Amino acid sequence: MAKPAFIYAFDNLGPYRFVELCGEVFGSLYKGFLLGGEGKDGGIDAEIDKVLGIWRPEEQTALVNEVIQPGQSAIFQFKHKVVARVGQTASRSQVLGLYKCNAKAGKVCELHSTLIKDRKPTAYLLVTNVEVNSQFRTTFIEQCKAERPDIKHFQVIGLDELVNWITMMPELRHLYFPTIFGLPRFDLQIKYSSAIPTYDTGMPIPYPDFDTHLLGISVLNIGTVTSYINSIGFEAIVDGERKFYNLIDFGQSFTSHMNPKLGTPLEPGRKQQYFYRIDELKQGIKTLGKSVLPIGFRIEDEIGNKYYEPMSESLSAIAALLG
């Protein structure tokens, strides 16, 4: 579960600052995500719910652990609670109460607010600073499906998910939680592409079977201290579940001697490059499950910092991997 420092820090953000932070996070994770939705709202907490996150993906994309198709739309709605005041259990109960209509009392739940009804979303995501356990998640989804069966997907993003994403975004940690983290010291930038390995002179490295397709991942240290990479892998939606896989487990018969050893010092301003055969990756991915959608690369250093880069289907090497 999340560390107490994060719980109190999220509490202290307040609702508007919380929405700003979420907008930064989801804007980074989902291409085309926008904050909007200004207008009259019949829901509860109307002064906050005028702000919605709206996302219409242009290509097949993973939304938490659901796959959203092009042309569909997702609505993000934000619920900030001062959890330290009432506790996690009461906070979860309060949030659930916002998603249940009561005709006798004339109560309209969040899903029937004007803003939501007008946009006719395919998916609805509740984003909250409350810790979400499995019972709450199941109850929330079942309750929402009963209220709005026309919406195909329901998800809830809680404190733990937000913590994981912010852990991978040092600049946001510094901006929103400066008293906890101070100035950003560790920071790695991930880039990937189809690759031809080269010498330092820029000349291609000759290999007998160099006609193979390679995926190249470069890691640049843009922080202020030396980092030590502990793992390189990718996240994927596998049969409806979001999972992480280490690339070292997908065969390196051709590239192992080309890659730096994990734990090799990466000094500020320096870059390390790693190469993997597309055919080996593709073969390994086929064994993971019936439905597999790789969604992003993830790197972890030896002290637990995580860095994430979403995967684009438009890149030729990744398109080959996905195929």
Please state which of the four CATH numbers 2.30.29, 3.30.60, 2.60.40, 3.40.1440 is assigned to the domain occupying 185-322: 2.60.40
Question: What confidence category does residue 114 fall into, taking pLDDT thresholds of 50, 70 and 90?
Answer: confident
**Sign of the torsion formed by the C-alpha atoms of 183, 309, 159 and 11:** positive
The whole-angstrom separation of Cα 323 and Cα 313 is 10
For 163-180, how does the pLDDT look when each residue is reduced to its tens digit (9 = 90+)? 888 888 877 877 888 765
Residue 74: strand pairing partners: 55, 123
What letter represents residue 95's amino acid?
Answer: V
Question: What confidence category does residue 190 fall into, taking pLDDT thresholds of 50, 70 and 90?
Answer: very high
Please state which of the four CATH numbers 3.40.1350, 1.10.3120, 1.10.3470, 3.40.50 is assigned to the domain occupying 4-167+174-178: 3.40.1350
Radius of gyration of the chain (CA): 22
Its pTM stands at 0.73
**Residue ranges covered by each domain of the chain:** 4-167+174-178, 185-322
Overall residue count recorded for the chain in this entry: 323
If DSSP codes are grouped into helix, strand and coil, which group holds residue 322? helix
For 47-102, how does the pLDDT look when each residue is reduced to its tens digit (9 = 90+)? 445 678 999 988 888 888 888 888 899 999 999 999 888 899 999 999 999 999 88
Helix axis angle, 88-97 relative to 134-147, nearest 10°? 10
Helix axis angle, 159-167 relative to 4-29, nearest 10°? 70
Domains 4-167+174-178 and 185-322 share a fold: no
Q: Are 169 and 14 in contact (CB under 8 A)?
A: no
Nearest to 294 by CA among 61, 104, 45, 107: 61
Per-residue confidence (pLDDT) for residue 198, from 0 to 100: 59
Residue whose pair of structure tokens reads 């291609």 in the numeric block: 204
Q: How many helices (H) and strands (E) does the chain have?
A: 11, 15
Q: Are 136 and 96 in contact (CB under 8 A)?
A: yes
